[in-house]
Structure 1
Amino acid sequence: CSRYDVVMICDEIATGFGRTGRMFACEHAGITPDIMTLGKGLTGGMMTLSAVAVTDRISEGISLSPSRVLMHGPTFMANPLACAAANGSLDLLLSEDVCSQTSHIEKVLYDGLRDLVSCTETVKEVRALGACGVVELRKNVDTVSMQRFFVDKGIWLRPFGNIIYIYPPFIITDEQLRACISAVRELVFLLNDGVQTSQSCFSV
């Protein structure tokens, strides 16, 4: 991007603020984007707030436009309550060893899920990075039925297409995390049995 003067945008809305074990996921690649979008962890999920961070070059380029400002003005932009929540969330985040917390979550997730690739036909890949775990299935499944399955177990997860996400809060206990893992494992084995009998209630 630098060589060809291409503006790089990194979407850190879901991955920013320690989620992947670094403050921002782009740090894993050792890069600095020209534009970064932020949200979710900005307020710890307590209130709706997002932000766009830009380099000086981008900011100066915008300022040289005829309007001389970045033309955006949503009604609730920078509302004081959301900004106070963000300040509180960031103070808390910076006062704790988030990297060790997310590193531990990553290990528990991966240890609890990795064998699903070898012992089932339905799982294509298992991934974990920081406090984000993914079980990727070989085929799309009925997302509504899967979500209902998890809610009935007292767990809120976000399956989507052929992906099952575990995206826990940093303060989750090992017991709670293992309950999530157990529910995912149960669903995967139900899917696997359904594939073998061609009668899965979760099939699309």
Structure 2
Amino acid sequence: MNERLMLRQELMELDQKHFLHPTSPIQQQQDFGPAFIFTKGEGIFLEDVNGKRVLDGMSSLWNVNVGHGRRELGQAAMEQMNKLAFSSSFATFSNEPAIRLATKLAEVAPGNLSTTFFTSGGSEANDTAYKLARHYWILRGMPEKKKIISRKRSYHGVAMGSTSATGLKPFRDFTNSLAPDFYYSDNLSTEDLRQTIEVEGPETIAAFVAEPVQGAGGVHIASDEYFRDVREICDEYNILWITDEVITGFGRTGEYFGVDHYGVAPDMMCFAKGVTSGYAQLGGVILSEAIFEDLKELSTGTLLHGYTYSGHPMACAVALANIEIIENEGLIENSKRMGAKMLDGFSWIQGESSIVSHVRALGLMGAVEINTPQHVKGPLAPRIVTEASKIGLICRSVVFDGQDTLVFAPPLCINKEEIELMIEMLHHAIFRIERSV
């Protein structure tokens, strides 16, 4: 047995015994071990322990925006760690990278979003937003405003609050004790949002939270009017509007932030993932100037919320270097251009296939819906994902709420030839499964 096979066998056995994987079938892990053990990344490609090279059509978890193997980000991390790897941000302590990053975020965020509370990731960012929204209304003398409305087919994370806000029921069914005061409206209907507010009572509702484009729920894109109507409804009923830009931020949709497509701004904005392109763990919530002014004026004691790694110096330094790459290399505009080519490719596949029913994309965030024939048992999208991985393409399937959908989010640095390669591999995978049924 050669060295590579020996290493893979060793790692597989250790993985099965000691590594409980997130969002993975436990039995599959135990029966077959990890599908890939990656050892290297470069651009839009990953390489596993066997030397197999695959195209990362998901930016891993929607987050490696600038692509794999960016030495500049490793250099930024090393330089900061050599100076100051970590210091607490509690008790008004601070550090330069966190200050610089908060300032940069205020410059690029929509509307008058101006002040950032840092977290370690997206779930913490969402939990923080809900907690701050409720605290805000307590300070305003309206403690009964505590309910959070989210959308069906939404995904906001897996901490207790963010799990409870997630509109995908299987994630909520995972536990038997959800956080209270979370409600769900139709994902594309503002009339249903208005009705939910009226039924629950606007005087009891703290905030409405929404992804500008729903990600893990199936890449659902709202109409041009949807978020403009949301802004008006939240203003009308005195409800805070929170956008979850964990996936859609930092160029993913062809604009700096997903909500920028709609010409309106939220009261709070959650971010993570693309802020560092996954090179360091970082997230946060950006507050509007008005909310921050109220917090300063009305607070009389300590803000009793914080994470050990809030404002982590190294993570913030990596984020600054990452944002510099995004801007200097024109990756937001590239996302828009390559996203259009990706959608053209999806449309071509739809014309060639009898099982592709609908395609959609906004920037480099897209979906291909599969129409599984009635005689076929079970959804086809997961089978296409497996077939694509054999060919050398990583994508994901969404089968919640009766969906049978493939979703894509390649790195923003992808070029025309690489888009064409991705489409070609996807076409082959779909054709093979279509022919087999």
Q: For this structure pair, what is the TM-score category when the shorter chain's length is used for normalisation?
A: 0.7 to 0.9
- What is the distance in 1 between the residues matched to 2:269 and 2:337? 27
Structure 1: which amino acid aligns with 2:252?
R
- For residues 60-95 of structure 1, the C-alpha deviation after alignment (integer angstroms, 9 at most, x for no partner) is 4445356552x4322322221111110101122222
Partner of 1:101: 334
Please give the secondary structure, in 2, of the residue aligned with 1:115. helix
Question: CA distance change for structure 1 residues 178 and 2 in 2, over 3 Å: closer, same or farther?
Answer: same
- For residues 86-138 of structure 1, the C-alpha deviation after alignment (integer angstroms, 9 at most, x for no partner) is 01011222223234311221122122110333443322211122122211223
Partner of 1:38: 271
Partner of 2:386: 148
Question: CA distance change for structure 1 residues 190 and 91 in 2, over 3 Å: closer, same or farther?
Answer: same
- What is the distance in 1 between the residues matched to 2:389 and 2:432? 16
Sequence identity of aligned pairs in percent? 29
Partner of 2:429: 187
Please give the secondary structure, in 1, of the residue aligned with 2:281. coil
- What is the distance in 1 between the residues matched to 2:353 and 2:245? 33
Within 5 A, what are the aligned runs for 1:24-103? 24-63=257-296, 64-65=298-299, 67-69=301-303, 71-103=304-336
User: Which of structures 1 and 2 has the bigger CA Rg?
Assistant: 2
Question: CA distance change for structure 1 residues 144 and 116 in 2, over 3 Å: closer, same or farther?
Answer: closer
Structure 2: which amino acid aligns with 1:4?
Y
Computed over aligned residues only, the root mean square deviation of the Cα atoms, in angstroms, reads 2.3
Q: 1:168 aligns with which of 410, 417, 421?
A: 410
8 Å contact from structure 1 (residues 150, 156) kept in 2: yes
Question: CA distance change for structure 1 residues 10 and 105 in 2, over 3 Å: closer, same or farther?
Answer: same
Structure 1: which amino acid aligns with 2:346?
L
Structure 2 unmatched runs, 5+: 1-233, 373-377
- What is the distance in 2 between the residues matched to 1:25 and 1:153? 32
Please give the secondary structure, in 1, of the residue aligned with 2:394. coil
Structure 2: which amino acid aligns with 1:152?
K
- What is the distance in 1 between the residues matched to 2:382 and 2:305? 36
Partner of 1:111: 344
Structure 1 unmatched runs, 5+: 200-204
Query: Which one has more relative contact order, counting CA pairs under 8 Å at least 6 apart?
Result: 2
Give TM-score, length-normalised by structure 2: 0.41
What is the count of residue pairs matched by the alignment?
Answer: 194
- For residues 134-193 of structure 1, the C-alpha deviation after alignment (integer angstroms, 9 at most, x for no partner) is 112235736654443232222222222222122111212333222221222122223433
**Structure 1 stretch displaced more, 171-180 or 33-42:** 171-180
- What is the distance in 2 between the residues matched to 1:66 and 1:158? 48
- What is the distance in 1 between the residues matched to 2:257 and 2:247? 10
Please give the secondary structure, in 1, of the residue aligned with 2:393. coil
Structure 1: which amino acid aligns with 2:289?
D
**Structure 1 stretch displaced more, 8-17 or 137-146:** 137-146
Partner of 2:396: 158
Structure 2: which amino acid aligns with 1:148?
T
Partner of 1:202: none
- What is the distance in 2 between the residues matched to 1:117 and 1:156? 19
8 Å contact from structure 2 (residues 349, 356) kept in 1: yes
Partner of 1:137: 370
Please give the secondary structure, in 1, of the residue aligned with 2:364. coil
Question: CA distance change for structure 1 residues 185 and 67 in 2, over 3 Å: closer, same or farther?
Answer: farther
